[in-house]
Chain A
């Protein structure tokens, strides 16, 4: 800042200095004239007595200490001029840097936005998620609390300022807004009224719901999200205070939440009471399972929180033992950590890949600068002999690098801006919370500038050290032949940079190759059924939500039969899972079969059409029948994996299975059934993928759905035609049964697979592939520029060889050999490095070992080809040298 002030003061000081000295000379002149001298002579005399005016001025300036700034501006101007003199070099260097810095910046923006700025809440690091972890099955845990449990935890813990409970979020609760003759549907979430204060965000318009809003008899209220407010209501502040009929209930809209408030990823939040007397008597609330998070009191550590909650949990386990495993503890972590673990694994390999790309770009620019430094030896030598100190020369080199770095940073930010715009939509759905925003904000820009400066220092230092070496005299003397002497001197350093580039690029290519094989492998997994032509949707009845069990049972068979009658539909079934994932997981017992370890199975609530829809073959026994469904009979069809794993060697038919989940889940209708309900195995079907695509099929049991029906019936159908084309007729069919029923969340299984299963590996492969491709391109230009430069330095020597009878082919081979030797060393180093590094990619890989020989080999072939291609033009130019011209250049 002080420099800047001085810049403005500079002209004033300069003027003062000028008038001070002029005053002196004028006074002396006047005195001499008074003494009898002629004016012209007097002036001359005064000037002589004074001595050099300019020198005095210069000395005064130096005393002032502003000469440094002036020198710097001069040097910057010189650096810019010198970069402008070679526009080709400058453009390539800046573009290379921009690619490297841009890549890093895009990835960093995602990393920062999602992992370090996940939630907008003040002190978001105190928003804590906790789970009751079954010690016999560590790593997972229950995060939902029953209403009674929630109230107990709220009253008895010592570590939270407050806890928040939520149910029905993440798109599972459509609410219908009726206005006049139109209906709109939004996703809603029921949120405990104290949550709003807990999260600490204020409404942008209106107010937050309060305790008074949820008292019995109070006017029902709700708040909406910013996005919905803008999209549906044009951001009109006057809609606050209006009545909306939601699911038939008139509610007052009291506030609009800020843009980044996206709790449970919905647009509408409906508060509910946390007053125990009211909550435990409300039929809609008392049996709810609540997803719970807490806000830690200031200064409470995670460890202390977990310890305190562990005590509370063990107290409550005595009150409601069926909810707790035999041995358990409580784990706690920040909500951000809990929800971004997957993204963490997704983004870090890419971040490292982008850094590798940056290093390649950096060594490429270092190489360019090095070649440039050699050709500039003449200029440097002349400057040195004219009195430039070594420090000043080094500073000059660093300044030029810095200019390149800053320009590269600007270019990189531009690329990053474009990149973020185009890439954020590609990030897998669900990969990060909707609260997180990925953008080019100040921390990200600071990161870009930071890496640009570091990189500029690295690549600038190499030629600076080389160029600053104090052997100017010999260089000046060797000027005529200086160039090729320099070529020999710096040859090894340039070679080293090529080796490094090739090695780095190999690690990138191998990483991308492994991810490609993973993606390809996953896309060609045998599901056990054809994933095309499957459609999933829900049939819900918003007006009468929450539905009673009886209603759900009443409309589903009717709906199924009607849908099956739609032309084009092959078969329709109830299903509670989204392929390729099975239903709930439960611990099981098979009476009569003893086992040491813990047994578990997936279980799916379905109707008879399920087996046909998933094209399963019956291996033994029989399938579920209509009678099984109508009577909600305790029977189960198991898959082959179940039979093999738990009942290998015996005939499974006739054995009974107990599912522990029926004894544990709040909300399960187990109250109506005796505990330890046993389901008789009636059949065995072939396996389908039910545990994601990366895992082999897991044991699964298929039960009649009325055993545990869900209020929102999920229906899956297999069609003979494009399933989405059937949607209108399905909707009409459903309306014909009951005009109040709505078909919601329709999706083809293929689209779900694309969204949930393939998107992550595709995203990762796309990015790694782009980085690897840019890396390879940079390496090729690197090899090309080094070889072209080497050839130009050896022009004379090649001329002599040709004159002495060497064939063009020999020369071609010589250049190619030299280039490929560098590539060869790089390959060796790169393979070793990759061998060590790819294991860190292991958890993103599937169906391919981190050291897959085929991938390694393909990459080697690719890079050799790239090397040959890059050497080809310089080698051919060398072979076509005209000896007469080459020799005459002496």
Chain B
């Protein structure tokens, strides 16, 4: 079973995070859960590597973070998308779609 789980493509983790955070403020653990759910557990994410990515995005100003209580009353660090991050997400999505289309086109025509 482990074999059909692909490692997240290089460079796509940032896009996935931005996309998830775009839905609303969310903490790190929830992000990792969402990545697993949305991708139908198709991607394998080493959970620990999520955090350097989050911190990197925060450091670049694409994410903003603040501390607040979760539903269980515990303090957690919530991330949300900044305006700069939103633009970045749009650019990444567009570039990704173009690449995916191009790859799909090649695959179809080469048949």
Residues of A bordering B, CB below 8 Å: 16, 19-21, 23-24, 26-28, 49-53, 55-56, 59-60, 62-65
Contact = CB atoms under 8 A, between A and B. Distances in A.
20 contacts: A16-B77, A19-B77, A23-B28, A23-B74, A23-B75, A24-B28, A24-B47, A24-B51, A50-B48, A51-B47, A51-B48, A53-B48, A55-B48, A56-B48, A56-B49, A59-B51, A60-B51, A60-B52, A63-B52, A63-B56
Residue picked from B29, B47, B48, most chain A C-beta under 10 Å: B48
B29 A23 contact: yes
B27 to A, nearest CB: 7
Contacts of A51: 46-49
Interface of B: 27-29, 32, 46-49, 51-52, 55-56, 59, 67, 74-77
A56 B52 contact: yes
Nearest to B47: A50
Residue picked from A19, A20, A21, A53, most chain B C-beta under 10 Å: A20
Contacts of B27: 23
A24 B59 contact: no
Contact of B59 (A50, A53, A65): A65
A24 B49 CA distance: 12
Contacts of B77: 16, 19-20, 23
A59 B49 CA distance: 9
Contact of B52 (A23, A26, A49, A59): A59
Given A19-B75, A20-B76, A63 B55 contact: yes
A63 B56 CA distance: 6
B54 to A, nearest CB: 8
A676 B8 CA distance: 112
A28 B55 contact: no
Contacts of A64: 55, 59
A453 B69 CA distance: 52
Contacts of B75: 19, 23
A60 B29 CA distance: 16
A28 B29 contact: yes
Given A51-B49, A59-B52, A64-B59, 12 more contacts: A19-B77, A20-B51, A23-B75, A50-B46, A50-B47, A51-B47, A52-B48, A55-B48, A56-B52, A62-B52, A63-B56, A64-B55
Nearest to B58: A63
- Do most interface residues of chain A lie in helix, strand or loop, or is the interface mixed? helix
A24 B29 contact: yes
A27 B29 contact: yes
Contacts of A19: 75, 77
A65 B48 CA distance: 19
Contacts of B49: 51, 56, 59
B32 A24 contact: yes
A56 B47 CA distance: 9
B66 to A, nearest CB: 11
A24 B51 CA distance: 10
Contact of A60 (B32, B47, B55, B76): B55
Given A23-B27, A24-B28, A27-B29, A63 B48 contact: no
Residue picked from A28, A51, A63, A64, most chain B C-beta under 10 Å: A63
B75 to A, nearest CB: 7
Nearest to B77: A20
Residue picked from B27, B51, B67, most chain A C-beta under 10 Å: B51
Contacts of B46: 50-51
Contacts of A50: 46-48
A59 B56 CA distance: 10
Contacts of B51: 20-21, 24, 56, 59-60
A23 B31 CA distance: 13
Contacts of A52: 48
Contact of A20 (B28, B32, B59): B28
B14 to A, nearest CB: 12
Contacts of A63: 52, 55-56, 59
A53 B27 CA distance: 17
A258 to B, nearest CB: 55
A63 B57 CA distance: 9
A56 B52 CA distance: 6
Contacts of B47: 24, 28, 49-51
Contacts of B59: 63-65
Contacts of B56: 63
7 closest A-B pairs by CB: A51-B48, A59-B52, A56-B48, A24-B29, A63-B55, A27-B29, A60-B55
A848 B96 CA distance: 88
